[in-house]
Amino acid sequence: NAGVTQTPKFQVLKTGQSMTLQCAQDMNHEYMSWYRQDPGMGLRLIHYSVGAGITDQGEVPNGYNVSRSTTEDFPLRLLSAAPSQTSVYFCASSPEGRRASNQPQHFGDGTRLSIL
Amino acid sequence: GQQLNQSPQSMFIQEGEDVSMNCTSSSIFNTWLWYKQDPGEGPVLLIALYKAGELTSNGRLTAQFGITRKDSFLNISASIPSDVGIYFCAGRGGAQKLVFGQGTRLTINP
């Protein structure tokens, strides 16, 4: 099925390790974003991109890097994992791009990340 | 920045009952979205609202964009077991990014 694909689904890391969470969409959406979901706090925006080559910070960007070399892919990198980054991470996309619109977002199924 | 307050945080109801939940914002929004999240999955869009006063239905679900543009409501009629999950509101005002409420966890007793 078309949509947003996230890999891996589960990951356990040790403090200080680095890793990349992968996100790919096949809907030719311009806008992609990363959220983290923690109990009782809803979804918080980490980073987002309005098109290939353009990224910007969201509400909680510290400790994470992103890049957008293609329209389809938007990987999230943890440079030095910390226990506070234990969370469920969701990638989302929407047709919204540089022109402002209110298109809702399509979400992947998430990556469950534990930092020991 | 924009903030959303979603209530209630959790609901425990009997199958067949109606459900109501709401979100209020600290500022005026021009978009309200309602999502449902099943365990182990990402949120799925239920209803999108783009105009103050708008009332939109999706089967047994009905959502309204408040007249003040600072609130939105979601109602579920005649609940069934598959309605169980977490419901999130999300909103956006002006050029701001989409913000999410804390979620309402719905549990249904058969």
What are the tens digits of pLDDT across the range A10-31? 999 999 999 999 999 999 999 9
Judge whether residue A2 has pLDDT over 90: no
A43: nearest CA in chain B? B100
Task: Give me the pLDDT at residue A99, please.
Answer: 52
Distance of residue B101 Cα from the nearest chain A Cα, in angstroms: 6
Give the CA count within 13 Å in the CB-facing half-sphere of B25: 26
B36: nearest CA in chain A? A107
> Using the beta-carbon criterion (under 8 Å), do A59 and B1 form an inter-chain contact?
yes
Pairwise CA distance, residues A56 & A10, whole Å: 26
Reported as a pLDDT band with limits 50, 70 and 90, residue B73 is very high
Residues of chain B contacting residue A43, judged by C-beta atoms under 8 Å apart: 43, 88, 90, 100
Q: pLDDT of B6-55, one tens digit each?
A: 999 999 999 999 999 999 998 899 899 999 999 889 999 999 999 999 99
Closest partner residue to B100 (CB to CB) among A42, A48, A102 is A42
Residue, of A39 and A23, whose pLDDT is higher? A23
A21-55 burial code (b ≥16 CB/10 A, e <16): bebbbeeebbbbbbbbbeeeebbbbbbbbbebeeb
Pairwise CA distance, residues A61 & A35, whole Å: 10
Mean pLDDT within B58-81: 96
C-alpha to C-alpha distances, B85 to A45, B50, B66, nearest whole angstrom: 22, 25, 24
> Using the beta-carbon criterion (under 8 Å), do B97 and A43 form an inter-chain contact?
no
Question: Three-state DSSP class for A85?
Answer: helix
